[in-house]
Amino acid sequence: MTFKKINRDRIIRFLKFSVHLFQVIYEKLTSGDKDYFLPFKYDHIQHYYGKDCLDIGAGTGRFSLYLQDQGHTITPIDVVDKAIEEIDLDIFDGQNINKADKSFSTSIFMFVLHHTDTQVELLKEAARVTRDYIIVAEDIVESRLDKMFGNIHLNTSPWAKGNNSFRSKKEWIELFSKLNLELVEINDIPIHIYPIYPVNRTIFVLKPI
């Protein structure tokens, strides 16, 4: 392969990335409700979502409402009510989930755990109230660049921030193992899906043992 061809290929990739970035920025500015991660959060793993789901850290409530529209019964909880959708949100203390053992078929943490320092307590509580699967989506810190973007995210996010809340993929897997959470499936979200905030992201499907 010649030097010119290598440069040309890089230019083409850069132009394609730039076009995609422009599209994402445009859509973000003109429509704040698009979920770029939806295929990974739901479509690719929908068979792990049971009839009754607990959405821990429901945030705006958009994903809870989406799951409800798909036919699931949703119980959304969060430490503060910032829902912009019409959902019946329960407020909790961020550590103790006031639900009976094995109340839900599926519990969900959608990009929530990096906003808290009580990750262990929350995962233990999720394991207690869940019959089948726990789905965790997280920003992954594997490089200095990931850490830099993560810090920017935490300092500009309207949600709470943990002091040492980001982990590498290996560190998450080790934590799940210590908590007796079996890793059933793991899916990486390509960085280019959301280039405004280009960090590694992974969705873990877990089963309480």
List, for residues 30-40, the tens digit of each pLDDT value.
455 678 899 99
Residue 80 clears pLDDT 50, i.e. is over it: yes
Residues 16 and 92 in one domain: no
- What pLDDT shows up at residue 196? 76
Residues 13 and 49 in one domain: no
- Which tokens sit at 48? 């792990």
Helix, strand, or coil here: 86? coil
- What pLDDT shows up at residue 151? 77
Residues 56 and 145 in one domain: yes
Residues 29 and 104 in one domain: no
Q: Kindly state the DSSP code that residue 132 receives in the 8-state scheme.
A: E
- What pLDDT shows up at residue 164? 72
Residue 28 clears pLDDT 80, i.e. is over it: no
Average pLDDT in the chain = 86
- What pLDDT shows up at residue 192? 84
Residues 103 and 118 in one domain: yes
- What pLDDT shows up at residue 42? 96
Cα distance between residue 106 and residue 78, in whole Å: 16
- Which tens digits make up the pLDDT trace of 104-159? 999 999 999 998 989 999 999 999 999 999 999 999 998 888 888 777 777 666 56
- Give pTM, 2 decimals: 0.83
Residues 28 and 129 in one domain: no
Q: Kindly state the DSSP code that residue 126 receives in the 8-state scheme.
A: H
In total, how many domains does the chain have?
Answer: 2
Cα distance between residue 166 and residue 49, in whole Å: 25
**Domain with 28 in it:** 1-34
Look at 18-22, 37-41, 100-104, 193-197 and tell me which has the smallest mean pLDDT.
18-22
Residue 193 clears pLDDT 70, i.e. is over it: yes
- Which tokens sit at 2? 């010649």
Say what percent of the chain tops pLDDT 90: 59
Q: How crowded is the C-beta side of 196, counted as CA atoms within 13 Å?
A: 10
In this structure, are residues 77 and 99 in contact, taking their beta carbons and an 8 Å threshold? no
Residues 27 and 95 in one domain: no
Residues 76 and 19 in one domain: no
In this structure, are residues 135 and 205 in contact, taking their beta carbons and an 8 Å threshold? yes
In this structure, are residues 203 and 41 in contact, taking their beta carbons and an 8 Å threshold? yes
- What pLDDT shows up at residue 102? 98
Residues 76 and 104 in one domain: yes
Residues 2 and 72 in one domain: no
Residues 61 and 109 in one domain: yes
Average pLDDT over residues 186-200: 87
- Which tokens sit at 129? 């109230």
